[in-house]
């Protein structure tokens, strides 16, 4: 932990190109203020995911702070998951979520490994958000969302059924594009098409029974036990930008945790 005297040695900082404030707020540490300023530059698109930040000495000079203060700010953003350090290369803006993360909850029998599931959009519509969805997505009452129903398959066999709500107009580009041309993985596609990086997600698991429509789409019997995964996904600024519910065969469910 740095002593107060180390922080006091910083010269008055010069405002960076997108600095949110020229000085820390009362009671705010200088490194905390600097972390907020760097976060703003990232969320405003100055440094996109996957790119390297400038050299530490250059950043410290630009903001008029000691190198130790800059390193504290960077460490805070690393701990928050916004940045990552690559040994011998520098500090990079963390790339958003990708891959078939839902499959970490399931194991389906596919001889050569699970791989990436194929995705088909069964339904797409623009709907008025429910009050609960509007609250979660930070929308005003009566705002619209893009509602998707997606079926995911492995080797041609359905394995996951999903209901996805995306706020408009943020995802307006997806409302008109041809769904047959969409990628199997949603997050890398929305980063490319809509400029939205899914930075983190919160998943809540519960168990239930499939209704007849869900069961038919998953080629299971009505009333078959299922795992339901309710997800809230967030962009780089911490804004909730996706609500998703996923249903899968409870008999394929697995959960692994390491307890030390």
User: DSSP string of 187-221?
Assistant: HHHHHHHT-----EEEEEEEEEE--HHHHHHTT--
pLDDT at 109: 63
Domains of the chain in sequence order: 4-93 (1.10.10.10), 101-252 (3.40.1410.10)
pLDDT at 223: 97
3-state secondary structure of 125: strand
> How many residues appear in the chain?
260
Question: Strand pairing partners for 52?
Answer: 92
| Phi then psi dihedrals of residue 121, to 5 deg | -85, 115
Q: Write phi, then psi, for 188 (nearest 5 degrees).
A: -60, -30
- Which positions of the chain have pLDDT values less than 50? 1-19, 111-112
Burial zone of 56 (CB within 10 Å; 0-12 exposed, 13-18 middle, 19+ buried): middle
> What is the reported pLDDT for 131?
95
Q: Residue 222's pLDDT is what?
A: 97
Give the per-residue pLDDT at 119.
94
DSSP of 32-81: HHHHHHHHHHHHTTSS-TTPBPPPHHHHHHHHT--HHHHHHHHHHHHHTT
Q: What is the pTM of this model?
A: 0.73
pLDDT tens-digit map of 108-136: 765 445 678 899 999 999 999 999 999 99
Residues 143-190: pLDDT tens digits? 999 999 999 999 899 999 999 999 999 999 999 899 999 999 999 899
> What local confidence, expressed as pLDDT, does residue 99 receive?
59
């Amino acid at each position: 932990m740095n002593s107060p005297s180390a922080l006091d040695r910083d010269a008055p900082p010069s405002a960076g190109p997108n600095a949110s404030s020229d000085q820390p707020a009362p009671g705010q540490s200088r490194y905390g203020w600097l972390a907020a300023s760097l976060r703003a530059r990232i969320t405003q698109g100055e440094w996109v995911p996957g790119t390297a930040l400038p050299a530490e000495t250059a950043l410290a000079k630009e903001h008029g702070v000691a190198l130790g203060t800059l390193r504290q700010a960077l460490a805070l953003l690393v701990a928050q998951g916004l940045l990552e350090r690559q040994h011998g290369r520098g500090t990079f803006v963390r790339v958003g979520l990708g891959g078939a993360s839902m499959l970490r909850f399931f194991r389906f029998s596919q001889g050569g490994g699970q791989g990436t599931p194929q995705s088909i959009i069964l339904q797409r519509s623009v709907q008025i958000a429910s009050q609960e969805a509007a609250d979660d997505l930070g929308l005003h009452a009566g705002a619209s969302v893009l509602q998707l129903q997606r079926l995911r398959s492995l080797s041609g066999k359905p394995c996951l059924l999903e209901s996805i709500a995306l706020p408009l107009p943020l995802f307006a580009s997806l409302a008109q594009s041809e769904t047959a041309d969409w990628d199997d993985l949603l997050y890398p596609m929305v980063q490319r098409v809509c400029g939205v990086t899914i930075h983190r997600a919160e998943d809540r698991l519960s168990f239930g029974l499939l209704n007849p429509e869900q069961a038919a789409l998953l080629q299971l019997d009505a009333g078959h036990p299922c795992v339901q995964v309710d997800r809230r996904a967030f962009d780089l600024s911490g804004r909730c930008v996706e609500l998703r519910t996923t249903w899968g065969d409870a008999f394929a469910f697995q959960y692994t945790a390491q307890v030390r």
